[in-house]
Amino acid sequence: MELLRSQLAKVRIPEPSNRIYKQECCISFDTQNRKEGSMLISARFLLLDHPKPDNEDRPHKKPTLLAIGMEGGFNAKEQEYDTTYSIVILPDFLELPYPNVQLPEKVRLAVDGVLAAVGAERKEQVAAWTAEKKRVSAFACNLQQLENGVQVPPSGWKCAKCDKVDNLWLNLTDGMILCGRRSWDGTGGNNHAVEHYQETKYPLAVKLGTITGDLEAADVYSYIEDDTVEDPWLAQHLAHFGIDFSALKKTEMTTAERELDQNVNFDWNRIQESGKDLEPVNGPGYTGLVNLGNSCYLASVMQVVFSTENFQRRYFANISLKEAFDRAPADPTVDLNTQLTKLAHGLLSGKYSASVGRRVDEADSALPEVEQNGIPPAMLKSLIGMGHPEFSSSRQQDALEYFQHVLDQVERCHTSNAPQDPSRCFKYYVEERIACSSSGKVKYNKRADNVLSLNIPLQAAVNKDEVSNYLRKKAEREASGEKVLDKEIVRPRVPLSACLESFAAAEQVPDFYSSAINGRTVALKSSKLASFPEYLVLHMRKFVMEAGWVPKKLDVFVDVPDILDINFLRSQGLQPNEELLPESTDDGPQVGPVADELIVSQLMDMGFPRVRCEKAAINTSNTGLDPAMQWLLSHMDDPDIDAPIAVASKKGAGPASVAVNQEHVETLVSFGFQADQARRALRETGGDVERAAEWIFTHPDEMSAMDVDADNSNVPSTGPQELFPDGRGEYKLLGFVSHMGSSTQCGHYVAHIYKEGRWVIYNDAKVAASGDPPKDMGYLYFYQRLS
């Protein structure tokens, strides 16, 4: 360290180049701590003087091609960065530039090791992105390698057919070094490696710059298998060309790392309220969330959830961070309460939403304010997604499914203290009334829910005439070879009231077994709400199946009011003039539902097995081909999808009559399941605890549809067994989550929340006052009950 101090006076720090930004990475040695390897790493971005425009920044000529980054196309030049490294000696904060030949070799080796290290978070991100382990290539074991005398140097590589010196691939058969594929924006390589394979059919190539002592991390690609693969004999294959893998260092990103970076760095902000001068917002409750790679569904949902008073009280107002960590187990990374408290303090305290920089020239109002960085919810994402096949990945997800998954996780953490459970503020009871058309007798069922899912009746559009005229003109223009301009498109506009009325409307249930007539008939089913939650979440079913069973997103506007009255949806329960359907007798016909043979045959004509078709019809109450098809497509991966349907000939002969071990019930309850769920699952799986737990997870629809009173579902109780918050049915719009894209598995999610008298847009890390909130384009709407 004294040597470093003495060299400081002799070494001059180079002046920064004239770029827009400079990045500094400092490696600090603490001279007060004598332990070897004690160092700190920090990084900072400095906004340098606003660069003067020069000729290079302006296009030299008008673009002539519809292309980006190519000759004759549009300029794809992005902001440039200078990266510098410095060694800082503590506690005096003496700074030395790096690299520096005057430094001791031991220090240089330590610094090089730190700079080359791949962090645990980065490894976890790449592992989540790739999801599955690379398979061993079928061509690796007996790979042909030519005896052509090619020896590859340890560095200084260049494409054999062009001047590219990066994104280079070594063909493991003939030793040719060629550049990789060209990216969509003109960057990357010139396709020479692919063209070489097409000429020679040599199957395997390894990306130079990804080869290190850890050969499993090397990027090996199989052109025939069209995938990144593993080559267990890579060391021998490299040695054939004189390459000592142990002496090589990582200088290039693997394919998975590059895909991850391209995804994370995508500028989603351009698709929401683009072209508007939005004022950035900072302070408590205005902290953004960093996009971790397709994590916008998480950011949008959590921003709205933590705008509710219940979640704010539970995880912010009533508990400090210190108290949360004091209560946490030995490993707080696996404790959901701790992680949610940490997120709440990050979002609501305002400590992490301050701007990361200032204007370079405060007098120059033309220079934009530097926006906040936001906080990365990596630990929470990992914890909530743990063990889940989708939420543990880096793929895009459905915001609705994630919202309900989060509430389930929160509820399980409060099984022993329900009053503190903030997820209860979204819960309510749906009462289903089924009336036998032959006898006039009725049956009532109750089920708990947290989202009111609504169909969008296009026939209720208020602009049907305009839509019809537009569709006619569109057909005429397409017939004549003309295209319709975007500004001419007319979309159906449906009021939210029509969606709510469609939910409450009665629908026919054909082939309903009525215990009153001891036979099958038609029934009328209708649903209303037995309680009104503190926060009402509306889900707009914009994704439907069109002709040919092709999934389609409805291009429709839904007019939602700021103040919503749903008192007309309040259920009244059993009326004095109504009579309940009797329970089935022991000598009655088959117990349990029977699949509609017409629906089953239609599904089988599409190529599905009979047992799957029967389950689809039964689980949708034989309501039609459309819902049965949707159920079937969403349950294709159920482990018991092909298991035979258990049907009894008499009452009591089905799964409900199977004896249940109370100890097994208590075991499942300790896992966080409800007792009635545990009993049902144990009956369905023959008393096996592990299979019962799996059955609950794989049958969410059946769990949510279970009667509140499983032993006497035909008799409506005077009140719910578990009391949820209830009150009047007047609500005000708190926020909404909108989706951009053709599918919930792609695109982008953005949240708009009404705070302090104005609408605010939460677009990942970007938080700004909204200029024109697209209320009619929402996917999830969050309403708060008026006090």
The binding site comprises: 159, 162, 179, 192
Neighbouring residues of 62: CB distance < 8 A, sequence distance ≥ 6: none
> In whole angstroms, what is the distance from residue 785 CA to residue 732 CA?
6
Both tokens assigned to 781: 């709407």
Query: Around 737, how many Cα atoms within 13 Å sit in the side-chain half-sphere?
Result: 28
DSSP secondary structure code for residue 393 in this structure:
S
Q: Are 538 and 786 in contact (CB under 8 A)?
A: no
DSSP secondary structure code for residue 370 in this structure:
P
Beta strand pairing call for 493-495 and 557-559:
parallel
Helix (H, G, I), strand (E, B) or coil at 429: strand
Residue 499 known to be catalytic: no
Q: Check 296, 425, 436, 499 and give the catalytic one.
A: 296
Q: What angle do CA 274, 280, 285 make, to 5 degrees?
A: 120
> In whole angstroms, what is the distance from residue 195 CA to residue 189 CA?
12
- Report the candidate in 495, 436, 427, 489 with the shortest Cα–Cα distance to residue 460: 495
Helix (H, G, I), strand (E, B) or coil at 695: helix
Burial class of residue 285, CB neighbours in 10 A (0-12, 13-18, 19+): buried
Helix (H, G, I), strand (E, B) or coil at 504: helix
- Report the candidate in 428, 515, 483 with the shortest Cα–Cα distance to residue 729: 428
> In whole angstroms, what is the distance from residue 426 CA to residue 383 CA?
22
> In whole angstroms, what is the distance from residue 364 CA to residue 439 CA?
81
> Amino acid letter at 322?
K
> Amino acid letter at 352?
Y
> In whole angstroms, what is the distance from residue 29 CA to residue 93 CA?
9
Residue 296 known to be catalytic: yes
Helix (H, G, I), strand (E, B) or coil at 479: helix
Cα-to-chain-centroid distance, residue 730: 32
Other Cβ atoms closer than 10 A to 194: 19
Burial class of residue 18, CB neighbours in 10 A (0-12, 13-18, 19+): exposed
Which residue matches tokens 């599409």? 606
> In whole angstroms, what is the distance from residue 510 CA to residue 515 CA?
15
> In whole angstroms, what is the distance from residue 112 CA to residue 550 CA?
54
Q: Are 148 and 175 in contact (CB under 8 A)?
A: yes
> In whole angstroms, what is the distance from residue 662 CA to residue 564 CA?
46
**Binding-site sequence positions for Zn(2+):** 159, 162, 179, 192
> In whole angstroms, what is the distance from residue 661 CA to residue 12 CA?
78
> In whole angstroms, what is the distance from residue 160 CA to residue 183 CA?
20
Helix (H, G, I), strand (E, B) or coil at 45: strand
Backbone angles phi, psi at 410, to 5 degrees: -65, -40
Q: Are 188 and 181 in contact (CB under 8 A)?
A: yes
Both tokens assigned to 477: 């223009």
Q: Check 405, 539, 748, 752 and give the catalytic one.
A: 748
> In whole angstroms, what is the distance from residue 764 CA to residue 467 CA?
35
> Amino acid letter at 635?
H
Backbone angles phi, psi at 737, to 5 degrees: -110, 125
Q: Across the strands, what pairs with 47?
A: 21
Helix (H, G, I), strand (E, B) or coil at 733: strand
> In whole angstroms, what is the distance from residue 621 CA to residue 594 CA?
9
Label each residue of 267-297 as H, E or C. Answer: CHHHHCCCCCCCCECCCCCCCCECCCCCCHH
Residues annotated as catalytic are: 296, 748
